[in-house]
Amino acid sequence: MTVEGRLVLAGAPIGQAGDVSPRLREVLESADVVAAEDTRRLRRLATELGVEIGGRVVSYYDANEAGRAQELVETLKQGRTVVVITDAGMPGVSDPGYRLTHLAVEAGIRVTALPGPSAVTTALAVSGLASDRFCFEGFPPRKGGDRARRLATLSAEERTMVFFEAPHRLADSLAAMAEAFGADRPAAVCRELTKTYEEVRRGGLGELAEWAAGGVKGEITVVVAGHVPGDSEPDLDELVAEVDRRVAEGTQRKTAVAEVAKAAGIPKRELYDLVHRRSATP
């Protein structure tokens, strides 16, 4: 059964108010309810656009999303139009929106979207990296150990990867990526996309980590090239043997692993785990 209400996921500008579509102007004026991640930013956007919001404005953000979603579904069941708009980009993509969409679909309510700017695809397009196949990984885990484990699972990912990151964690995340994917893995850090101080910094992950250590501000999207399987993949037995040789000559195991992994262009953690397993085998 289909309910007459309509849920509209509205893509919002990621920097320039002029990037909005005519349809977004129309729906903000005509919707019964506008659910906004930040009601103040919504009203500021409406003022910049010269749009008068016709319906009721309610807050819809991470902390109240679960409860508010239920409330909005009831509104939709009454045949009303509800618009969800977040601070920037598309609702549901690392922003509130998924829970309400899921509940609306379950209730047989029509769900549609107003396409709009997206930091994910914008960064991918300007990165200069392969865009025919890509995956969006959201924000890396905040804790170092969790982040390292998550990145280790992506070390063999062949698609271009897109991440969001907070500016104060950028340097640590880039350093962790350099360790997991290799310091020379091509990447791009896209900062303040479409805004006045837009910057796209391209280079190897190690180089970008050193640059970010000096401090970076603004909204950040990181694009990382995928793993490219070579015709001649490193011989792991030879790499372990080289580590053993260096250790026998007096180099600390940790240092030997780091040096050999860097030279071979493979993640240090992968080689360390292999060396550890081999040494533990009788």
Global confidence as pTM: 0.79
Which of the four pLDDT bands, split at 50, 70 and 90, describes residue 155? confident
Which of the four pLDDT bands, split at 50, 70 and 90, describes residue 235? confident
Give the range of the structural domain holding residue 26, as residue numbers without chain letter.
Answer: 3-117
Instruction: Check pLDDT > 50 for residue 231.
Output: no
Q: Are residues 266 and 165 in the same domain?
A: no
Q: Are residues 176 and 246 in the same domain?
A: no
Last residue of a domain, one of 202, 224, 246: 224
Helix (H, G, I), strand (E, B) or coil at 107: coil
Instruction: Check pLDDT > 70 for residue 234.
Output: no
Angle at CA of residue 13, ends 208 and 4, nearest 5°: 130
Does residue 14 belong to any structural domain of this protein? yes
How many separate domains does the chain show?
3
Mean pLDDT confidence for 60-87? 95
**Nearest-angstrom CA–CA distance, 123 and 176:** 20
82: CB partners within 8 A, 6+ apart:
5, 6, 7, 8, 31, 32, 33, 34, 35, 72, 75, 76
Q: Are residues 14 and 108 in the same domain?
A: yes
Q: Are residues 77 and 124 in the same domain?
A: no
Instruction: Check pLDDT > 60 for residue 166.
Output: yes
Q: Are residues 154 and 104 in the same domain?
A: no
CATH code for position 212: 3.30.950.10
Q: Are residues 147 and 42 in the same domain?
A: no
Q: Are residues 151 and 74 in the same domain?
A: no
Does residue 230 belong to any structural domain of this protein? no
Mean pLDDT confidence for 120-148? 95
47: CB partners within 8 A, 6+ apart:
none
Mean pLDDT confidence for 178-203? 95
Q: Are residues 106 and 11 in the same domain?
A: yes
